[in-house]
Amino acid sequence: MNHEDSVLLHTEGRIRHLTLNRPRALNALNHAMVLRMAQALDAAEQDTAVVAVLLTGAGERGLCAGGDIRSIRDDALAGGRSSLDFWRDEYRLNARIARFPKPYVALMDGIVMGGGVGVSAHGSIRIVTERSRIAMPETGIGFVPDVGGTRLLGAAPGELGTHLALTGDAVGAADALACGLADHFVPSQDLPALVAVLDTCTTPEAVVAVAERFAGTAPAGELAGHRDWIDACYAADTVEEIVERLADRGVPAAKQAATTILAKSPTALKVTLEAIRRARRLDSLEAVLDQEFRVSSAAFTGPDLVEGVRAQIVDKDRNPHWHPAELAQVTDEDVTRHFAPLGDGELGLGPAPDAGPAAAG
């Protein structure tokens, strides 16, 4: 497949369609796809005939399962740097989507994870269905939520985002709406009709109105009934204390969350908790993406990302050997190094790390 085939572009009426087109890989993003999307957005913004952009995924399984983590692992093992170039452009695309001046409609049908969240949940009209399964599962591969995910999860009500970040659990439509990751629920069977009507729209206002017209009530979610123990347990200062509170809560779902967390990379867990809390203190998506780039750059050189991808994707034995293996063995210094300024290597979307309140934390 050539680069042009991996993201299909066409215009219907005044709507520019972007279709992620690697269905066998569940539309996992690679560098070429990110660059093609960025170019497409530039063209759509400049074209006065285009009133909105519509993002969809090819195939029946979902919008996008995330970044191509197998290639990232290969790059790390080879001592390469191309993954950093990929993240640099991917995070710039995430910011571009968030600031896009025309309606950006994302159909978050099926699986939407990691980088898939980055190209959809920053959009202005985010539509989920009963098939949606949305997650930031990075701690399970020795990585940390990125693509602006720490800002999205940090902004969720109470400690819902912390729960999702540490466990990597996927949520359905109602919970995605409750967490602020989506705007509207539309039954999957209605998506063709929605798209057909969108293609007749001639103004941005009409696009917004059509999305609202098709919106319905999502099937009941799960998180609302768990808010009491989630907010109480995840407010703890450390991952160790969070796990202890979950295990001692006397609620089966809380105990299961503790078990889930303990299977993740200890380093990734501690860095994730710190990243979420720092993100809450930053004043823009751009500043958060800068922070995430520092974290990703550090994680790329650590042992757990390579090992996590091996266990989940390459060998599929689901038995990662984390280093360090226990939460207690991860020092404050281990965590802090992930947030160190990169000098000339900074992403540079927001203020410099020492440039006032936006970089505090």
DSSP H/E element including 296: helix 285-300
Q: How far apart are CA 153 and CA 279, in angstroms?
A: 9
Amino acid at 339: F
Neighbours of 136 (CB within 10 A): 32
Q: How far apart are CA 126 and CA 15, in angstroms?
A: 16
User: How far are the Cα atoms of 162, 267, 269, 278, 294 from residue 336, in angstroms, in the given order?
Assistant: 19, 11, 13, 12, 11
Q: Which residue shows structure tokens 């995605």?
A: 176
Q: Which residues are catalytic?
A: 67, 115, 138, 146
- Torsion-angle region of 27 (φ positive above 0: left; ψ -120 to 50: alpha; else: beta): left
Local structure of residue 102 (DSSP, 8 states): S
Q: How far apart are CA 88 and CA 132, in angstroms?
A: 28
Q: How far apart are CA 44 and CA 10, in angstroms?
A: 11
Helix, strand or coil, per DSSP, at residue 140: helix
Q: How far apart are CA 5 and CA 25, in angstroms?
A: 14
